[in-house]
Structure 1
Amino acid sequence: MEVRTRAPGKIILSGEHAVVHGSTAVAGSIDLYTNVSLRISNSSDVDDGLLEFQLKDMGLAFSWKIQKIKETISELGFPLSSSAPSFSSESIKLFATLVEQQNIPEAKIGLAAGISAFLWLYTSIQGFKPATAVVTSDLPLGSGLGSSAAFCVSISAALLASSGALSSVSSHDGWLTLGESELELVNRWAFEGEKIIHGKPSGIDNTVSTFGNMIMFRSGKLTRIKPSMPLRMLVTNTKVGRNTKALVAGVSERACRHPEAMTAVFTAVDSISKELAAIIQSPASDMLAITEKEDKLEELMEMNQGLLQCMGVSHSSIETVLRTTLKYKLASKLTGAGGGGCVLTLLPALLSKTIVDKVIAELESCGFQCLVAAIGGKGIEIGFCGYS
C-alpha cells in the first residue's frame, strides 16, 4: 500500500514580531501543499533493504542501508511509542552522522536538519523497515510560508497512517480527513520534527498545517478559529533571504531604546489582530456584507504594515511590492519575519482576473514569484492506493 499525504503551508495575517512581546497574532492555512508519498516494503529480508528519501523538486535522492541505521542508533531503543516522545540531543547527533554520510550539495547543506528530522521520525514510528518516501512541495523554502512545518506534518501523518495509528472520519475528492485525537497525535510528532529543524519553534506553523483553518495565538496559548467568508491572497515571494533571529533581536533592541513608543506599537498590533479575527469570524449574509468586511480587512492590513515599518522589519523589496499593488488600489503587508520573504495582498471577491493578471505580471517583471492562495482551508489530508 502506498500512503499519500498533503499538508498546507501557512501565512501570518497579523501580529508577527509583536507576538513575541505579548500581542495577539492571527495565522491561517493556505492551499499550497507539501506532498509525501510513502511505500513501506513487506520484504522479509529487512536487514538487506534500503530506506530511500527523495526531494523530487530539487532532484535530490538519499538512501541508507537499514543495517547501517540499526548499527548507528541501536543503543537508542527504536522504534519509540506512538505517543510522540521528545527526541534527545544524543539521538540527533547520531542521526546527523547518518546525514553527513550523504553527498548533500554545498548549496543545499541547509537541508541537513530536515533530513535528520525525517530519519528520526521514520525510525521512531516505523523502526527498521525498508521504504521509499518521496516529497514534493508547492511552498518555496525559507520564505515564511511554513514549508518545514508542512514537511514535518506530512511526513508524520504518512508514517502514522502506514503504521495503523490513524483512522479517517470523512472523505472528499479522494482525500481523507482525520478526527480530533488523530490530528493531535500528528501535531505532537510534527512539533518534535520542527524542534529538530528550528530548535525552539512556537508551534504555530505545525498547528495551522495540521488542523487547517486559522488560529489566534497569544503568550503561548493557541485558539483555533474558523472563517465565515472566503479569503484569497496574492502571495509575493521577494526571494530575498533574511535572518529571522537578527530581525527579532532588532525589534527587541528598538523596544529597549524606545519602551513607551514600542509598547504603544505592540498594543496597537494586538487590537488589529483581535479586530481582524472578529471580522473574519462574523457572519456575512451576502456579497455586500463580504465587500464591507474586505474593506475593513484592507485597512487593518495597511495599519499592521505601517506598524511593522515602525518596528524596522520592512525592506526595499517589500516596499516595491507595496507600491506596485497600491497602484491597483490593493492592500498589502509583509508576512512572517520581514526583511524580505513574502508579502500578502488581499484579493477582493469581486476583483477581476484581468487586474490580478496585470498585478502578477508587474511583480514578476521585478523578479518576484507570485502565488495565489485561498486562506483558511483544510489541514492534513491522507490518501491510500494499492500498487503491484
Structure 2
Amino acid sequence: MHIKECIVSAPGKAILHGEHAVVHGKVALAVSLNLRTYLRLEANPTGKIGINLPNINTFLSFDATALQSPLPDRTADSRNAKELDVDLVARLRGFIGVTDSNSDTSTMAVLAFLYLYMSVFTESEELPGLTVTVWSELPTGAGLGSSAAFSVCLAAALLSARGAIAPPPGDLEHTARWSSEEMELINSWAFLGEKIIHGNPSGVDNAVSTWGGMLRYHAGKITPLSRVPMLRILLTNTKVPRSTKVLVAGVKEKIDKFPAVMSPVLESIDAISSMCQQTLNEMASEPMPEHYSVLEELMDINQHHLDVLGVGHPSLAALCRVTLGRGLHSKLTGAGGGGCGLTLLRPDTDPSAIHSATRELKDCGYDCWETSIGAPGVQQHSLSSVKEEVLRFLNH
C-alpha cells in the first residue's frame, strides 16, 4: 500500500427544495450537512481485512487470501470506475453468506466495502491487509445521506491507499482536499458503492458528499453551485418510518388524477427552487435580513405545497407548529411522511428560542441537532484535527 494510515470524512445531505417535484422533471436543490461520517484506514501486517462499524454494532474480519478467488477481472483499472460488476457482487454475496433478500444495513455496508476494496486493489499482486473503522454523526435510514457519506469515505481512503490519488495538497496539520479531477474519481467509485446499497440511486447523495456545498439537480444533470453561504439550521428527525417508494407512487397517482390542479403546484415548487438559488447567490456576497425573510417564506410555501402533494404527516405538522411558535420556519426534507425536517436559524436567532423549541421537540420523541448546511465535501484529516469524541470511536 502507498500509505499506512489515513483519516477521511464526508458530509451528509439534505434536500432544501424540490422534493418529489424533481421526479417529475423539476429542479431540486441538495445541500451538504455539517454532520459527518469519519473513516480511519490502517495497514494490517497480519494480512487480515477488518471492518468496524460501531454505529451499527458490526465488527468483522476476513483473511485476505480467502478473498483471492472472488477477485474481479485483473485488467480493471483503479483509476477508472466503470459499471457495477454484478458477477463480483454475486460472488461476494456468496462469500459472506447472504441472499438477495437479505438487505439489512450491516450486510449492505459490508458488501459495499468488500466490493470497493477488491475492485480498487484488483491490479495488486496480492490483496493488502488493512482495517477500516467508520463512525458517523448521521443517523442511518433517515434520508440524510449516511450511506453516500460512507461510500465516499471508503472510496477516498481506498484510492489513497492504492496510490490512485495523491495525498491532497494543503496543511495536513488540519484538513486538506483533493483536486477536482481526483474528486471526480472518488465520486465515481462512491457511486458504485451507492448502487450496491440502493440499487438505482440518482447520484445526487454521493455528489453532495464528495463536493459539499449545494448541488442543483434537474433532469438527471447535477451541477455544483459555487458561492453558497453556510446557513445554520435545526435538523429534526421525527423517527417516524416511511417508505419513499410508496410516497413517490402516491404523488404520481394524485398528479394523474388531478393534472390541472397538481401541475401548477409542481411548477410553483420549481420556481421556489430557482428563487432560493438566486437568493443564496446574493447572500454569498453580503447576507441581509431580507434574504433570510425570503428563505423563510419559501420554506413555508414549499411545506404547504408538499402537504398538497400528500407527503405531509402529523409529526411534521407538529414540528412546524412548535418552531413557528418561536418565530422559526420549518419544512420537511426528503420523502416526507415522517422522516426529517429543517428549521432555518438566522444569525440573530435568540438562543432561548432554539433551546425551548428543541426541548419541546424532544418531548415529542424527536431527535434534534443544531448544525449547518453548505459544509465542505470529502476531506483528509490529521489526527490532531479530528475531534476527541470522533477519535474515541475510530480507535475502537
Runs of 4+ in 1 over 4 A off after TM superposition: 283-286, 384-387
**Length, aligned pairs only:** 376
Q: Does 1:329 align with 2:327?
A: yes
Q: Secondary structure at the match of 1:32?
A: strand
Corresponding residue of 2:158 = 159
TM-score, scaled relative to structure 2: 0.90
Cα distance 1:378–1:251, how it changes in 2: closer, same or farther (>3 A)? same
- Cα distance in 2, alignment partners of residues 74 and 223 from structure 1: 35
Cα distance 1:156–1:222, how it changes in 2: closer, same or farther (>3 A)? same
Matching of residues 292-303 of structure 1 within 5 Å = 292-303=290-301
Q: Does 1:40 align with 2:43?
A: yes
Corresponding residue of 2:389 = none
Corresponding residue of 1:356 = 354
Cα distance 1:291–1:181, how it changes in 2: closer, same or farther (>3 A)? same
> Is 1:226–1:376's contact at 8 Å kept on the other side of the alignment?
no
Q: Secondary structure at the match of 1:371?
A: strand
Cα distance 1:88–1:226, how it changes in 2: closer, same or farther (>3 A)? same
Cα distance 1:272–1:130, how it changes in 2: closer, same or farther (>3 A)? same
Q: What is the aligned counterpart of 1:59 among 43, 57, 60?
A: 57
Corresponding residue of 1:46 = none
Corresponding residue of 1:84 = 81
Cα distance 1:75–1:188, how it changes in 2: closer, same or farther (>3 A)? closer
Cα distance 1:79–1:66, how it changes in 2: closer, same or farther (>3 A)? farther
Specify the code of the residue in structure 1 equivalent to 2:8. Answer: T
For residue 242 of structure 1, report the CA deviation from its aligned partner.
1.1
For residue 265 of structure 1, report the CA deviation from its aligned partner.
0.9
Cα distance 1:174–1:279, how it changes in 2: closer, same or farther (>3 A)? same
Q: Does 1:124 align with 2:119?
A: yes
Identity among equivalent pairs (%): 39
Q: Secondary structure at the match of 1:30?
A: strand
Q: Secondary structure at the match of 2:78?
A: coil
- Cα distance in 2, alignment partners of residues 273 and 101 from structure 1: 42
> Is 2:72–2:88's contact at 8 Å kept on the other side of the alignment?
no
Corresponding residue of 1:281 = 281
Specify the code of the residue in structure 2 equivalent to 1:140. Answer: P
> Is 2:232–2:345's contact at 8 Å kept on the other side of the alignment?
yes
Corresponding residue of 1:146 = 145
Specify the code of the residue in structure 2 equivalent to 1:151. Answer: F
TM-score, scaled relative to structure 1: 0.92
CA RMSD of aligned residues (A): 2.2
- Cα distance in 1, alignment partners of residues 299 and 172 from structure 2: 33
Q: Secondary structure at the match of 2:288?
A: helix
- Cα distance in 2, alignment partners of residues 146 and 32 from structure 1: 10
**Where does structure 1 lack aligned partners over 5 or more consecutive residues?**
44-48
Q: Secondary structure at the match of 2:177?
A: strand
Corresponding residue of 1:136 = 135
> Is 1:34–1:137's contact at 8 Å kept on the other side of the alignment?
yes
Corresponding residue of 1:2 = 5
Q: Secondary structure at the match of 2:110?
A: helix
- Cα distance in 2, alignment partners of residues 92 and 7 from structure 1: 25
Q: What is the aligned counterpart of 1:29 among 32, 35, 40?
A: 32
Q: Secondary structure at the match of 2:169?
A: strand
Cα distance 1:216–1:74, how it changes in 2: closer, same or farther (>3 A)? closer
Corresponding residue of 1:372 = 370
Corresponding residue of 1:345 = 343
- Cα distance in 2, alignment partners of residues 285 and 75 from structure 1: 50
Corresponding residue of 1:184 = 184
Matching of residues 122-271 of structure 1 within 5 Å = 122-127=117-122, 128-167=127-166, 168-171=168-171, 174-271=174-271
